[in-house]
Amino acid sequence: MASDRIVATYLIESAHPLEHAARVLAGEQSTGTFVRVAGETPELHERHGARVEHVEPLGEVPHPSLPGARAPADGQQRWRRGRAVVSFPLANMGTSLPNLASTVMGNLYELGELSAVRLLDLELPRAFADAHPGPQFGVGGTRRLAGVEDRPLVGTIVKPSVGLSPADTAALVRTLCEAGLDFIKDDELQANGPHSPLEARVAAVMRVIDEHAQRTGKKVMYAFNISDELDAMLRHHDTVAAAGGTCVMVAVQSVGLAAVGALRRRAALPIHGHRAGWGALTRAPGLGADFAAWHKLWRLAGVDHLHCNGLRNKFWEPDDSVVRSVRACLAPLYDTPAAAYTVMPVLSSGQWAGQVSDTYERMRTRDLVYLCGGGIIGHPGGVAAGVASVRQAWEAALAGRSLAEHARTHPELAQALAAFGK
């Protein structure tokens, strides 16, 4: 990859020749407009115009994927798909992440010549790594703070999602800590609402966590949801840090790249990146972006953890997509240690002990935060038994034993298998 160009790979679909459609995309996102203007000199276009590097035809589809697509003047209605590689000069936006996003994920989605357009991947020059610190803690720092080295972190989400007072939340956290969890997080819907102000919740929860740590030597990592307006979010971070907290959470899509970057520059704690709203960007196969491209922006902005869904999840996402997302989080962005920090993948969404063997077999990593809601809190033997069942499932997976075999001598796992079904 050239050191002065951003390379974006797109799925495109059009009734126009694919090369023409790709040129329209490149022009719209760099120097061009719908007519030739005097200011777009050959010299300016050479310096700042996007280039179509390659177009690979992928066949035809019977109907346009998106509404509003325009056929060419000759009226032909053959809708072709292809993979288009387009490069943009770094000089157009510098290393600004918001402006990078506007370039590679901007008005191109509205082009009438395209009946589908999806960003598949991004290759970014090293200048972005030099300009952005990236994850501060990542996998290694998260493990150090949580005191867990040889297995995934087992965690849960505070439920009900909203409605609990700070005292109610602290009472539940006491139960969860005593059950042996490594990690607890606020729900993405619970931030700084009137019924549970963040400052009061932090004080109540951290008293419980500190008491547990003093008694047992284990300080449970709690991700407080500090998503808010920027000034408030930075204050919330400081509140958590001053109380001895070890993690903050933000809904990255909701607060935006600039806000996450500002938080990273301020942060003394790991940033747990929740991807609420990501489905709107990716669920339609002919629109939006793949995780492979999307997550690179947030890694550069500085998150330490990123949600990746989970196998056999309660949402729409296929298992293969989840596996690709986990592998993407753990792959270095660049080839030098200073810029190769990975982010900790977070699995959640209907997870319980029963998915563990498949998770390890497919992903071949123990660098995970494995979050179970009902799979722990709804265990018929209680919360402690729910935690034990997930730990036992990971013991089996890491030892190469089947869950059924392991369950013969581990009653909590056996109860989970019977209650929730393999």
Per the CB < 8 A criterion, the answer to whether 219 and 147 are in contact is yes
Q: Which fold has domain 5-131?
A: Alpha-Beta Plaits (3.30.70)
Per the CB < 8 A criterion, the answer to whether 296 and 122 are in contact is yes
Per-residue pLDDT of the chain (422 residues; tens, 9 = 90+): 568 999 999 999 999 999 999 999 999 999 876 566 667 777 887 888 999 999 999 999 999 999 999 888 877 789 999 999 999 999 999 999 999 999 999 999 999 999 999 999 999 999 999 999 999 999 999 999 999 999 999 999 998 889 999 999 999 999 999 999 999 999 999 999 999 999 999 999 999 999 999 999 999 999 999 999 999 999 999 999 999 999 999 999 999 999 999 999 999 999 999 999 999 999 999 999 999 999 999 999 999 999 999 999 889 999 999 999 999 999 988 876 655 678 999 999 889 999 999 999 999 999 999 999 989 999 999 999 999 999 999 999 999 999 999 999 999 999 999 999 85
Q: What is the pLDDT of residue 211?
A: 98
Report which of 288, 331, 328 is spatially closest to residue 308, judged by C-alpha positions: 328
Write out the residue limits of the CATH 3.30.70.150 domain(s) in the chain: 5-131
Tell me the angle at which helices 319-330 and 291-301 cross, rounded to the nearest 10 degrees.
30
Q: What is the pLDDT of residue 338?
A: 54
In angstroms, rounded to a whole number, what is the distance separating the alpha carbons of residues 261 and 220? 26
- Secondary structure letter of residue 95 according to DSSP: T
pTM of the predicted model as reported, rounded to 2 decimal places: 0.95
Which residue has 């203007």 as its token pair? 37
Q: What architecture does CATH give domain 138-420?
A: Alpha-Beta Barrel (3.20)
Helix (H, G, I), strand (E, B) or coil at 70: coil
Burial class (CB in 10 A: 0-12, 13-18, 19+), 51: middle
Report which of 107, 111, 54 is spatially closest to residue 82, judged by C-alpha positions: 54
Write out the residue limits of the CATH 3.20.20.110 domain(s) in the chain: 138-420
Contacts 24+ apart (CB under 8 A), 264-269: 264/133, 264/136, 264/301, 264/302, 264/303, 265/133, 265/302, 266/234, 266/237, 266/238, 267/136, 267/237, 267/302, 268/237, 268/241, 269/137, 269/237, 269/240, 269/241, 269/245
